[in-house]
Structure 1
């Protein structure tokens, strides 16, 4: 039972990262295995770290984390998505140096934004009868694999979409942020 519960939890938490990775891959000019590894490792690492951090905070801070996590995720994804849309609509051509300079910052921001919910889940795990090391490791591994695969799938779709790939990626990130916000404020 422990394995099945942890696996379902890991897949659930990795969905936002998978969608963001699809967008990352779609805007790549050339499919890159190293980029897929970088995105997968970043997203997987953040999911693992945030689940552990949430668990460490424990029950005493559950309400404070859950009260703002959705707003932070929404804001970060809105900023990144808006920037991608602006670049796509404005027709700005990113040179390789600019992409490299901003790539890590954007990737780290997306890593944080898509894993904030893992911290809230981690708080809940402090109250559950689950092995946090196994569960957090599984969350990180599944998210790594989903991020890696998302970039590769996005790379395959990117040439078909052309410049619209960045527009679709930006809209996708804003949709993810909106979904997180709606789920936390209406339900």
Structure 2
């Protein structure tokens, strides 16, 4: 019974982290959604982001597990500090980043080819750090990458689909909310 509760606790923790990481894809999707993308483009972009939200934390977790086995509990502190730093950076970017007048043309370049690859990579880099942190804690690898991929894809698609409608209400705060959640988990892992 206690293993089921522990598993449910881990599931909820990983789900909240996946949603927090997906908020970055959601908020960037809101901005790109202003291009009035077709459903086929939304599916292609969000699927690519979903794949990157699986690959990047998987890579991070493998490295984190390896380092954890080599240097032990010290990696737990490093993982927690990385979460806090990543969350702080997300909050900082949300508050102090400014859109420039060429934002639409840059967003259009992000919807295909290398532009899409680089966009998905940049949205998923924070997943690499979180994956490293989770690897140092020995989190369930399959569950984590599945949740990260699904949440990244769904939140990116949601952001792209509704971008033009609500970006002025929520878009600039989505990344800050995700960052605050990562800071909270980093502090929890330190204690």
TM-score by length of 1: 0.62
Deviates more, 1:53-62 or 1:14-23: 53-62
Size of the aligned set, in residue pairs, is: 154
Provide the C-alpha distance between the structure 1 equivalents of 2:107 and 2:156, rounded to a whole number of angstroms. Answer: 19
**Would the aligned equivalents of 1:31 and 1:156 in 2 still touch at CA under 8 Å?**
no
Residues 1:87 and 2:87 are matched in the alignment: no
**Would the aligned equivalents of 2:60 and 2:129 in 1 still touch at CA under 8 Å?**
yes
Report the 3-state secondary structure (helix = DSSP H, G, I; strand = E; otherwise coil) of the residue aligned with 2:136: coil
Residues 1:134 and 2:143 are matched in the alignment: yes
Q: Which residue among 40, 47, 50 is the counterpart of 1:41?
A: 47
Report the 3-state secondary structure (helix = DSSP H, G, I; strand = E; otherwise coil) of the residue aligned with 1:50: helix
- Per-residue deviation, 1:132: 0.5
- Per-residue deviation, 1:101: 6.2
Residues 1:123 and 2:132 are matched in the alignment: yes
Partner of 1:4: 12
Partner of 1:153: 162
Q: How does 1:160-175 map onto structure 2 within 5 Å?
A: none
Provide the C-alpha distance between the structure 1 equivalents of 2:137 and 2:22, rounded to a whole number of angstroms. Answer: 20
* 1:34-58 CA distance string (max 9 Å, x none): 1211221122111111100101112
Detail structure 1 runs of 4+ shifted over 4 Å in the superposition: 98-102
* 1:137-156 CA distance string (max 9 Å, x none): 11100111100111011144
Provide the C-alpha distance between the structure 2 equivalents of 1:142 and 1:50, rounded to a whole number of angstroms. Answer: 14
The 1:99–1:129 alpha-carbon spacing in structure 2 relative to 1, beyond 3 Å, is closer
Aligned CA-pair RMSD: 3.8
| Structure 1, unaligned runs of 5 or more | 162-168
